[in-house]
Amino acid sequence: MPGLVGAFLGSLIGCILWVLIYKLGYIAGVAGAVTGICAMKGYEMFGGRLDKKGVIGSVLIMFVTLYFANKLAWSWDAYEALSEYGLSFSETYQQLGDLLTESGHTDYIKELIIGYVLTIACSYRNIANAFKASAGSFSFKKLNK
C-alpha cells in the first residue's frame, strides 16, 4: 500500500505539468511520460522496490491521474469563461460533463484520447524497461519440438 501512495504522489508532478502544458495550448505526451516515470519512482521510494505489481499499479494510477488532469485543465478553462455567471471553480469542475454536453463540445474526449496515445508512445519504453528490471522478471524460453 505505501508504494501506491508513493505512485499517486509522484504522478501528481505529471498532473501539474499536464495542466500547465495544456494552459499553453498544447497536448503533450511528455507530461504523461513524466507522470509515469514519477509514479514508478514514487512507488519505488515508498514501497521499497518496484516489482511487477508496482509497474502495473503505477501505470493504472498514471492513466487515472491523467484523466483528472485533463478534467482539471478543461474545468479551469470553463471557469475562466463562466466565472462572470457566479460559478465557483468547484461547481465548474463538478458540472463539466453537463457544460460540455450543453455546448456540444466533443473535443474533451478527443483530447483525452490523444493525450493517452501520446502518453503511451512517450512512456512505452520506460514502462517496458521498468517491467524488465522489476523484481521477479520473466523470460521466454524456446520450446524444443
120 within a domain of the structure (yes/no): yes
Give per-residue pLDDT as tens, 1-53: 888 899 899 999 988 998 998 888 877 777 878 888 888 888 888 988 878 88
Mean pLDDT of the chain: 83
40 within a domain of the structure (yes/no): yes
pLDDT at residue number 23: 86
Residue 47: how many CB atoms within 10 A of its CB?
20
Strand partners for 110: none
pLDDT exceeds cutoff 70 at 141: no
- Mean pLDDT along residues 87-108: 84
Give the start-end residues of each E strand in 10-139.
none
pLDDT exceeds cutoff 90 at 56: no
Domain containing 49 equals 2-133
Number of domains within the chain = 1
Residue 34 near residue 17 (C-beta atoms within 8 A): yes
